[in-house]
Amino acid sequence: MVRSKHKITGERVLDWVIYLILFLLIIIFVVPLLYVLSASVTPYSELIRRGGFVIVPSELSFDAYKELFSTSLIGSAFKNTLFVTIAGTAINMVLSILFAYPLSKKSLPGVKFLTLMLVFTMMFNGGTIPTYFVVKDTGLLNSLWALIIPGAIAQYNVILLKNYFQSMPDELFEAATIDGAGAFRVLLSIAVPLAKPIIMTVMLLYMVGNWNVFYAGILYINSNELKPLQVVLREILMSSQNMLNNVDTHAPSLTMRMAAIVVTSVPIIMVYPFVQRYFIKGIMVGAVKG
């Protein structure tokens, strides 16, 4: 059956409308990123002259980055945040998978009660002060593990993993069990490889959370050498407010803020393209299956 000319024309118009909307969305998301990057390398005098909004600077100035990295705490802060991100994400993934996989089995005794308790903790928690005393009494206070252990499992991520595992055909696991594979062998050889999209998605969520750890760093860390990157950058920006009378010798607070945004965002932005193809699929399947 040949489609009518009006129907084909309508589809083309709809395609162009979609393209226009996507183009507008690209502008909405890209322009702020370009502004942040440009403002971080634009001389403050040019920012003032051009009303504070610059996309393409006439000249480059890296004073803001020099100011950020001039303190000795930046190096240790990077190391601390890198350790929290790598070690924390590894612990997050291991515990979340080991928690989510059994919950995906309807034959597990008490699985409904355990799932209810998981959801319950999403709505209610002990609060900041009780959590602080737990961290203190367990000896984690003023250590990097205080930034990892209290948030080792995120309930939402466990639910995403659980739903994805639950969407897999039971026949695969039954066949492996008949062949003599144990529970851990089935998990590592079948469930984990098939769940790669949701695992990569959850891993990215954990990585972003660990890289951006801030409140826990203020609450649990007292030593300057153990403070994470976000806390150190905040302190640098706060101190810069009091020393910016001479813009020729110090980077103004505006460019410092933009440089801090770039420093904290670039590592995660560089990781995202490697897991982007798994992200949408993992979120959609993990959210609606089960």
- Both tokens of 256, joined, read 């410092």
Task: Please say if the pLDDT value at position 282 is more than 70.
Answer: no
- Nearby residues of 178 by Cβ (< 8 Å), 6 or more positions away: none
Mean pLDDT, residues 135-143: 91
Nearest-angstrom CA–CA distance, 6 and 114:
56
Residue 193 φ/ψ, nearest 5 degrees:
-60, -40
Task: Please say if the pLDDT value at position 249 is more than 80.
Answer: no
Task: Please say if the pLDDT value at position 139 is more than 80.
Answer: yes
CA distances to 92, 103, 167, 182, 267 from 186, in Å: 20, 15, 15, 6, 34
Q: What is the pLDDT of residues 251-280, one digit of tens each?
A: 456 777 788 888 888 887 787 777 666 666
Task: Please say if the pLDDT value at position 3 is more than 80.
Answer: no
Environment class of 253 (CB within 10 Å of its CB; exposed 0-12, middle 13-18, buried 19+): middle
Q: What pLDDT, on a 0 to 100 scale, did the predictor assign at position 12?
A: 80
**Count of CB atoms within 10 A of residue 257's CB?**
18
First vs last C-alpha separation in the chain: 40
Nearest-angstrom CA–CA distance, 88 and 82:
9
| The residue type at 50 | R
Task: Please say if the pLDDT value at position 205 is more than 70.
Answer: yes
Q: What pLDDT, on a 0 to 100 scale, did the predictor assign at position 248?
A: 41
Cβ atoms of 229 and 81 closer than 8 Å: yes
Mean pLDDT, residues 161-176: 84
Cβ atoms of 214 and 228 closer than 8 Å: yes
Q: Which DSSP string do the residues of 175-205 spell out, in sequence order?
A: HHHHTT--HHHHIIIIIHHHTHHHHHHHHHH
Please tell me the pTM assigned to this model.
0.78
Please report where in the chains the tokens 């990569």 appear, as a residue: 200
b/e sequence 119-154, b meaning 16+ C-beta within 10 Å: eeeeeeeeeeeebbeebeeeebbeebbbbbebbebb
Mean pLDDT, residues 239-250: 49
Q: What is the pLDDT of residues 6-42, one digit of tens each?
A: 666 767 888 888 889 988 988 888 888 888 888 888 8
Q: What is the pLDDT of residues 82-137, one digit of tens each?
A: 999 999 999 999 999 999 999 988 888 888 898 888 888 888 887 888 889 999 99
Nearest-angstrom CA–CA distance, 22 and 270:
23
Q: What pLDDT, on a 0 to 100 scale, did the predictor assign at position 50?
A: 72
- Both tokens of 199, joined, read 């695992």
Please report where in the chains the tokens 């308790």 appear, as a residue: 117
Average pLDDT for the chain = 81
- Nearby residues of 73 by Cβ (< 8 Å), 6 or more positions away: 224, 225, 227, 232, 235
- Nearby residues of 27 by Cβ (< 8 Å), 6 or more positions away: none
Instruction: Classify the C-alpha dihedral 235-241-242-246 as positive or negative.
Output: positive
CA distances to 53, 61, 231 from 250, in Å: 20, 12, 21
Task: Please say if the pLDDT value at position 245 is more than 50.
Answer: no
